[in-house]
Amino acid sequence: MAEARRRLRVGVLLSGGGTNFQALLDACADPDFPAEIVLALSNNADAFGLERARRAGVATAVVDHRPYATREAFEADIQRALDAAGVEVVCLAGFLRVLTAGFVEAWRDRMLNIHPSLLPAYKGLHTHRRALADGARLHGCTVHVVRPALDDGPLIVQAEVPVLPDDDEETLAARVLAREHVIYPLALRLLGEGRVRVVDDGVEIDGASGPLRLAWEADASQGAD
């Protein structure tokens, strides 16, 4: 019998409901997926993402940021929890705390984030509102390797969505979120299969310069509603 392939051990940091976390859980439920989630950690004990993890049989931890005098002390306990679980890669899934440069650098090239825009456009908050205000015709989402600067780092996968004439923030956000649920598991799969290599400020995927970009026309069946 062939030896089972080793799966990448993933820790997810979240603060809220965790629909992107659910997309990762669903992907990792497949035993052939090259990664497994071994810990879901939140700064919020009431985060519904923790309940999602429990239902999936994934270990959970809570590190409430409020008692800590410094971000460094808070992050030290996060690091201890990640180390205890044997985490190799961290995925941010709506973790609503700013991470220090020291923590990010400790996970250099091993921490992923998903952002609701086609980076480098619209870093920060209110991405859909800003895209609509600019009259953008194309919007989307990005999975990237985390760097200390806000929404910065090598881009792995992006997915485009059209901005329709009758869109408002809610409809555009829903279209983008459906694509987020596609590309976050895809990016983690690529990483788990060893197909992503960080080179300077970018990535190579299967030896070709990235990021992988999913055009709406090429894959409109995913999340078109």
Q: How far apart are CA 49 and CA 144, in angstroms?
A: 21
What pLDDT, on the 0 to 100 scale, is given for residue 3?
A: 56
Residues of the chain with pLDDT under 50: 1-2, 218-225
Residue environment code for 178-203, b if the CB has 16+ CB neighbours within 10 A, otherwise e: bbbbbbbbbbbbbbbeebbebeeeeb
> What is the reported pTM?
0.94
Cα Dmax for the chain: 58
Domain 113-219: which topology? Rossmann fold (3.40.50)
Q: Give catalytic residues, as residue numbers.
A: 115
Residue closest to 89 by CA, chosen among 136, 36, 131: 36
Distances (CA, A) of 82 to 37, 49, 193: 11, 17, 22
Strand stretches in 108-189, DSSP E: 111-115, 138-145, 155-162
What pLDDT, on the 0 to 100 scale, is given for residue 4?
A: 63
Q: Which residue ranges make up each domain of the chain?
A: 6-107, 113-219
> One fold for both 6-107 and 113-219?
yes
Residue environment code for 207-224, b if the CB has 16+ CB neighbours within 10 A, otherwise e: eeebbbebebeeeeeebe
Q: Can you identify the CATH homologous superfamily of domain 6-107? A: Formyl transferase, N-terminal domain (3.40.50.170)
40-53: pLDDT as tens digits: 999 999 999 999 99
